[in-house]
Amino acid sequence: MTIPFTNRELSWLEFNQRVLDQAADPNLPPLERLKFIAIAASNLDEFFMVRVGGLEVLRRVGKRSRDAAGLTPVQQLRLIRQRVVIMEAEQQRLLAEEIFPALAEGGIRRLKVSDLTPSITDYLARVFEGSILPLLTPLRMAPAEAGWGAGAGTVPGGQICCLCELKSDLLEPVRRVLVPIPPTLPRFVPIPETKGHQFVLVEDVVTMFAGHLFPDEMLTGTGVFRMTRNADISLEEEGTYDLAKQMGDLLAERRTGACVRLKVAKGCPRSIASYLRTALGARASHIYPSREPLALADFMSLALVPGKKELAVTPWEPASPAGWNPGTDIFKLLSAGDMLLYHPYESYEPVMALVEQAAADPKVTAIKQTLYRTAKHSRVISALIRAAENGKQVVVVVELKARFDEARNLERAEELERAGVQILYGVQGLKTHCKATLVLRREGGGLAYYSHFGTGNYNEVTARLYTDVSYLTARKSLGKEASALFNALTGGSRLKPMNHLAVAPFFLRRKIADLIAAETERAARGDEAGIDIKINSLQDAAMIEALYKASRAGVKIRLNVRGICCLIPGLKKYSKNITVTSIVGRYLEHARIFRFHNGGDPSLFIGSADLMERNLDRRVELLVEVGDKRARSRLSQILDGHFIDNAQAYEMEEDGTYRRLKPPKGKKAVRAQERFQRAADRAAGRTGDEMSFRFVPHVPPGQAEIEPDEDV
């Protein structure tokens, strides 16, 4: 039986539209709106590199097979383009008509070439000669007659480039030279001694003075563009003996992927745009003209510019969890009871303390950890290195196949290896995506097990930006099961079903299916039954079919799905008992929480996996049952808090679109993220007045970048 199913790509674009809706909210200050513009642009960049790239490969080889929603690759590409054109038109209108004018009024202003005075032009000429020109490397492009795609290999993907048309004299044919703008150059060139924060984009400076690169020729035209390459390149692991080397080869191959999008800046001469299409092997459907700046993801650093509090939201600071203070002995604290934390409302420091204190504690004998994405200057990595140097056994499973973090993970793995850490590059054929740490400590003549399980990466930077759950425990039963997981990852030992942990791809799918089936059976008997799930994505056909079956039996199902949702709620025949909501706010919703009514004694779980085929079948993932009574109660409160939002939440309609909820007449607006922050502040004994006396640190530029979206 064919079940109702929404196309994955179009569902993801609906999520990105919800991000863009935040940029359209006039109640938000302009720098916050600019931040959402940058996030939406970054999301689209990765979407084209991965999802559109994969569809383009299917189109080129003539695949006509249909997805679960009944669409061929060509149909999907056509619908994607239609949706993206509308989305980018809105994005550019918001910038031109609302956000940039509001920023200019507040003193942050982009100066265009037409705005420059002679003195500013002279200043920029000096900047170009001294700081920009030495870093530029002109590259001669193939002549137009060289044929389709002849110049594609010269152009770096994802980088802003300037194409120059040149003549030595009027009788000679035009030659074309590519000038890539190195990402090491600052995108925003500040203008000193001007009122407020005024800047010129680096590509405008390059095009103004590009003639200096070619002193003996006539510059007849310049055009600024940015090409996106296909980065959906598979890693063939069969028979490979050196995964690190193969990963390096894959990264090199990604730099030469085919063009999947060509963005051309306003004012680009027609002759240059036409040449680019031919030289880069771009189809007409790949070309997206832009009247606003290219590479809008770069504007995240502008959105975080210091000293403009009146243009930004008041920062929220993580609160210290109950019983936790800097210097608290984490082992003593966990010995007294489990700790469940909700980040970033509550500090990530207890998680860091588990690793950092373990590295120095003489009683600790071993640390085992999985790493998927880490911060650039990772405290976790530093602690693991110290632990190895202190003579402890340190075992780390580093996932080299974490998309777009491969190079960083290779580098950090080598650093750990040099320190004496035992490194494993994941497992063959699967991505290791689970988040687990195990610390073994000698206590009372035996070994004590301290464990951390999380829904997010071991990344102290994104822990301040993403909502995630951490579960820290000294329960030996959980520690022994974590130990069995690590033994399976490192030694290839056979995994058996466990009482508290369900591991994908072996047991997790069956565990969730059984839990859904149990609720279905209860409802069929006339008993109360319910399922509440908070995840990032829902795409797996078998899981959707099981939820439809549960709904038909009478199970009340509430789903809070941040991004992709291929299930269609509200259909009389299939899903009348299912609601789907999504929250987009200041933080990126990232926690995975599952609750099953279980006859009035709810079963509660956290996990690293979404309900996607890749998570359930092609990744090492964890589902962790939360057994502690206090932690279970807290987890239920967190889950319920997401279903009462009536201001930042969107509800999915039967046609796959989303409607932003509004408070009922006479009712107060409820914003889940604000409620969680206020609750964390109250629990820590903080008030709004006290917050104003806090130092707000400047984040280093390297930490302002947007992390890859795992759900693309």
Q: Which residue, chain included where needed, has tokens 């194409």?
A: 163
Q: Is the pLDDT of residue 250 over 80?
A: no
Confidence of residue 149 (pLDDT cuts 50, 70, 90): low
Q: What is the pLDDT of residues 67-79, one digit of tens each?
A: 999 999 999 999 9
Tokens for 177, please give them: 């030279």
pTM, two decimal places: 0.91
End-to-end CA distance of the chain: 28
499 in helix, strand or coil? coil
Mind listing the pLDDT tens digit for each residue in 194-225?
Answer: 788 999 999 999 999 999 999 989 999 999 99
Residues 554-580 pLDDT 10s: 999 999 999 999 999 999 999 999 999
3-class DSSP state of 594: strand
Peptide bond into 708 cis (omega under 30): no
Q: What is the pLDDT of residue 391?
A: 95
Between CA 473 and CA 439 the distance in angstroms is: 11
- pLDDT score for 706: 57
Whole-number percent of the chain with pLDDT over 70: 90
Give residue 708's pLDDT band: very low, low, confident or very high (50, 70, 90): low
Tell me the HSE value of 603 on the side-chain side, using a 13 A CA sphere. Answer: 19
Establish whether 500 is a catalytic residue.
Answer: no
Question: In terms of C-beta density within 10 A (0-12 exposed, 13-18 middle, 19 or more buried), how is residue 184 classed?
Answer: exposed
pLDDT of amino acid 686: 67
Domains by residue range for the chain, with CATH: 1-106 (1.20.58.310), 124-237+253-306 (3.30.1840.10), 330-493 (3.30.870.10), 502-687 (3.30.870.10)
Model pLDDT, residue 233: 58
Residue 41 has pLDDT above 80, yes or no: yes
3-state secondary structure of 561: strand
Residue 408's pLDDT is 67
Confidence band (pLDDT; 50, 70, 90) for 269?
very high
- Within 13 Å of residue 291, how many CA atoms lie on the same side as its CB? 11
Per the rule left: phi > 0, alpha: psi between -120 and 50, beta: everything else, 556 is beta
Of the pLDDT bands very low, low, confident and very high (cuts 50, 70, 90), residue 700 is: very low
C-alpha 171/C-alpha 164 separation (Å) is: 18
- The answer, yes or no, to whether residue 694 has pLDDT greater than 60, is no
Summary mean pLDDT of the chain: 90
Q: State the average pLDDT over residues 260-284.
A: 92
According to DSSP, the β-strands at 393-398 and 160-167 are: unpaired
pLDDT of residue 237: 45
Query: What is d(CA 89, CA 461) in angstroms, rounded to the nearest whole number?
Result: 32
Q: Alpha-carbon distance 184 to 77, whole Å?
A: 33
Residue 51 pLDDT > 70, yes or no?
A: yes
Q: What is the pLDDT of residues 376-392, one digit of tens each?
A: 889 999 999 999 999 99
Residues belonging to the chain: 712
Give the CA count within 13 Å in the CB-facing half-sphere of 699: 19
Considering 85-89, 189-193, 408-412, the range whose residues carry the highest mean pLDDT is 85-89
pLDDT of residue 257 exceeding 90, the answer is no
* Marked catalytic residue, from 197, 286, 433, 500: 433
